């Protein structure tokens, strides 16, 4: 397994991160334990969750991880643990329980996450979505206190636009704070919008990118057909893509992977790692078998001609003025 520093921090993380969103609703506790055990054996030390993960039982994902730590407490010091705050954990109609960030809400939510995770600190605490209303004094005052108290070590963002990273990072710097060290954003060969503004902002402010859905929910895993009711079938509808023999884009992708002797999911993840600012893509794992090939993806360096062919296959801009690349060059002369 290869490792890197997360953004401008001196925190070392594996080049692949295990996403635990499926722990609880789709993955049993015992299977989750096997996944985390094997991930550590593979050298993967970066685990991501969120307080809202768990399906109908919000918090279940954190609880499973906490139970795993309890089973073998030594594992806690081997893991860089990331979770998130923003969404509602109770009835959103209750005042201060709806989506958003406030000192009142974060105080309760961080304590609840620590209890479920059965740990005294969170290594990377991520704001799950941008809150456009909160003041910098309340936002950074709240999270700086958590860092000062030792309950949180580093702060990250998720689903922030480029302007949001710039705004909040400048506010942190003006306060003498470190600010965000990471941004978690949806990014894959089929979703390249972050290259326009998010990636350039991240590079400029020392923020490491943690792409989620690098396999586009399974569309880039080499599947010929999505099973009814599966996550991949849901993503087919979201992306307007249908797998099958008639999908020439996926056929060209599979042919290229076969040409270079690599599995589709390995190439898709390796491609995200080839992008500037990317630290560690998150792979949402449901079964132990889904870990296969992740170590290969972390070490694979795609040749320039392969990257060019992937650009040709997955350009999001066919027939439109938008081109691959960062703003404003992607849409201006």
Above 70 in pLDDT, residue 323? no
Count of residues for the chain?
A: 333
Q: How far apart are CA 304 and CA 302, in angstroms?
A: 7
What is the average pLDDT across 148-176? 97
Q: Which among 53, 125, 154, 160 is annotated as catalytic?
A: 53
**Annotated catalytic residue 53:** yes
pLDDT of residue 171: 97
- Residue 58 is given by DSSP the state T
CA distances from 243 to 176, 222, 226, 248, 251 (A): 50, 9, 7, 9, 9
CA distances from 31 to 7, 38, 65, 289 (A): 32, 11, 12, 11
Q: What are the structure tokens assigned to 209, written together?
A: 């990118």
Above 50 in pLDDT, residue 321? no
Q: What is the pLDDT of residues 181-208, one digit of tens each?
A: 999 999 999 988 899 999 999 999 999 9
Above 80 in pLDDT, residue 317? no
Q: What is the C-alpha R_g of the chain? A: 20
Above 70 in pLDDT, residue 324? no
Q: How far apart are CA 282 and CA 136, in angstroms?
A: 29
Q: How far apart are CA 176 and CA 206, in angstroms?
A: 15
Dihedral sign of CA atoms 23, 55, 85, 67 in order:
negative
- List, in order, residues 6 or more apart from 250 with CB less than 8 Å away: 219, 243
The β-bridge relationship of strands 122-127 and 80-85 is parallel
What is the average pLDDT across 284-302? 96
Domains in the chain (CATH in brackets) are: 3-221+267-301 (3.20.20.100)
Helix, strand or coil for residue 148? helix
> CB of 158 within 8 A of CB of 184?
yes
Q: Which of 239-248, 270-279, 297-306 has the lowest mean pLDDT?
A: 239-248
pLDDT of residue 243: 80
Q: How far apart are CA 290 and CA 299, in angstroms?
A: 17
């Amino acid at each position: 397994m290869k490792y890197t520093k997360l953004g401008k921090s001196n925190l070392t993380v594996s080049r692949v991160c295990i996403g635990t969103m499926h722990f609880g609703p789709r993955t049993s506790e015992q299977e989750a334990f096997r996944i985390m055990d094997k991930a550590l054996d593979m050298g993967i030390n970066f685990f991501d969750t969120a307080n809202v993960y768990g399906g109908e039982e919000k918090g279940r994902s954190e609880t499973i991880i906490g139970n795993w730590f309890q089973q073998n407490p030594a594992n806690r010091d081997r893991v860089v643990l990331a979770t998130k705050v923003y969404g509602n954990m109770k009835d959103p109609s209750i005042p201060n329980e709806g989506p958003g960030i406030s000192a009142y809400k974060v105080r309760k939510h961080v304590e609840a996450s620590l209890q479920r995770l059965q740990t005294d600190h969170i290594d990377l605490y991520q704001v799950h979505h941008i809150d456009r209303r909160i003041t910098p004094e309340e936002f950074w005052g709240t999270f700086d206190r958590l860092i000062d108290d030792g309950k949180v070590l580093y702060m990250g963002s998720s689903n922030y636009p480029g302007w949001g990273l710039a705004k909040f990072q400048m506010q942190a710097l003006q306060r003498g704070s470190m600010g965000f060290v990471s941004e978690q954003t949806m990014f894959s060969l089929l979703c390249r919008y972050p290259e326009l503004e998010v990636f350039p902002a991240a590079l400029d402010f020392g923020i490491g990118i943690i792409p989620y859905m690098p396999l586009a929910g399974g569309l880039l895993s080499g599947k010929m057909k999505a099973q009814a009711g599966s996550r991949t079938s849901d993503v087919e509808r979201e992306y307007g893509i249908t797998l099958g023999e008639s999908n020439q884009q996926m056929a060209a992708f599979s042919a290229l992977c076969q040409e270079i002797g690599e599995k589709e999911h390995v190439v898709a993840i390796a491609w995200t790692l080839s992008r500037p600012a990317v630290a560690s893509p998150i792979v949402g794992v449901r079964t132990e078998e889904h870990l296969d090939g992740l170590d290969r993806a972390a070490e694979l360096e795609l040749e320039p001609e392969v990257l060019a062919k992937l650009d040709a296959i997955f350009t999001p801009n066919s027939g439109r003025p938008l081109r691959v690349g960062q703003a404003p060059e992607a849409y201006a002369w």
